[in-house]
Amino acid sequence: MGSTEKQVETNGTPVDVSIALKASDLKSVPSLAAEIQSLGSSLRDSDYNGRQALLRKARALVNALETPRETMIKHTWAEPTNASAIAVGVEAGLFDLMAKEGAPTKVDDIAAALKADPALLCRLMRHISAMGYIKEIGPDEYESTTFSKALTIPIIGDGYPCVLGGCFAAIAHLPAYLKRTDFVMPNSATDGPYQSAYNTKLNFFQYLQANPPWGEQFNHHMGGYRQGRPSWMDADFYPVQERLIAGADPSPESPFLVDIGANVGHDINEFLSKHPSAPGRLIMQDLPSIIGQIKPGSIDDRIERMEYDFHTEQPVKGARAYYMHSCLHDWPDDVCQTILAQVTKAMKPGYSKFLINENVIPSTEANWQTSGLDLMMMSLFSSKERTLKDWTRLLEGGGLRIVNVWEHGEGVEALIECELA
């Protein structure tokens, strides 16, 4: 399996192999280390944007110190297998047990409690520890970390098995798919990389629902995806009182906020908790299979649950605001136009707003969360995360105009406020 430097073939490239065996940018290390020291000395946990700036520098330092060979091994061996090992641990109850123990625990004891093969757990836990996600105390003895404890929370842990099972094949298949299609941008919602990888005619959401528990795990994953970042409902992000509540019809029967494609109600429930004085009706809409997954007591009783497919006519007319969070990025532009048409036909001119809570990719220095999600969208949906130019073209083509784009820092989804053109 191994190869020496002298045996390496270059396939005619003028780049010498030695470039892959030295630190990628050693000369930048001192300045990056100094910047990290400066940024970290006064960092507060509540300073989201300051932490993101420090993370960017920390990743730059790691990239500078690693050799290209080490980075290649990290990408192709270490990171995929680490995600897989964590997914196994989630499914087996490994991290729940470690968190309950609250102290260093021998692998043999863990295996006995889980009724698992100790040799298997040794290998899985060794790699998870080597990657820094559980703490090695001694030979075959490990302790929880903050991260591994967080894996016991469904909105964090459930992302691993559902993404590994229901997404990774499409991501791994993308190079072969694009080569076969002569590197043309995927643009079919029904015949793209996902359908090719999983040999299915179902779309991503249909496939997950047809293969439980991935559907429920993905709902949890979406709950985790939205956590820990500034929310558009916060006072310092979007002026809800000034832009929505002021001027709204105060009558109880008037629709105020319609959350379209609401999943199990994460967003609209947060909105009500932060703005309990909002007038009128608050309505969440999604497919029957999703609405049926809402757990008792998980959303406020004031929120109306409505079964609805956003490809069909919008039944709620003249609401103050129609809202979509991470829905349009699931669809190519041609399908988005049909979705937008259902919204615009229901809007009341001069009164209704359409609020889109999605990424707006900046022209430079895109955040890794956004750029990574963009390629996920390509692999899973033949769709994309959009730039401001993309959004303007899409929305103006759908009979809307952008009033403002409200943003709050790196890697945070924007709120695009629209009205009828």
CB-CB contact of 29 with 61 (8 Å):
yes
Phi, psi values for residue 136, rounded to 5°: -80, 125
Q: Which uninterrupted H or E stretch holds 389? A: helix 388-397
Tell me which of 221, 266, 325, 329 is the catalytic residue.
Answer: 329
Q: How many beta carbons lie within 10 A of that of residue 327, not counting itself?
A: 19
**What DSSP line would sit under 83-140, residue for residue?**
HHHHHHHHHHTHHHHHHHH-S-EEHHHHHHHHT--HHHHHHHHHHHHHTTSSEEEETT
Which one-letter DSSP state was computed for residue 27? G
| Unique residue bearing structure tokens 């690693």 | 66
Residues 12-16: contacts with CB under 8 Å, at least 24 apart: none
329 is catalytic: yes
DSSP 18: G
Report the distance separating Cα 148 and Cα 146, nearest Å.
6
φ, ψ (nearest 5 deg) of residue 295: -80, 145
Q: How far apart are CA 276 and CA 36, in angstroms?
A: 41
In DSSP terms, 404 is beta-bridged to 417
Q: How far is CA 110 from the centre of its chain?
A: 31
CA-to-CA separations, 410 to 47, 172, 240, 369, 414, in angstroms, rounded: 12, 28, 22, 9, 10
Looking at residue 7, the DSSP 8-state letter turns out to be G
The helix/strand/coil state of 308 is coil
Edge-to-edge, what's the strand order for the sheet holding 141-143?
105-106, 141-143, 135-138
Alpha carbon distance 287, 189 (integer Å):
18
Length, in residues, of the chain: 421
Return the structure tokens found at 52: 């993101």
**Residue 286 CB coordination number (10 Å):** 24
Residue 69 to residue 77: CA distance in whole angstroms: 12
State the Cα–Cα distance between residues 90 and 96, nearest whole angstrom: 8
Catalytic residues: 329
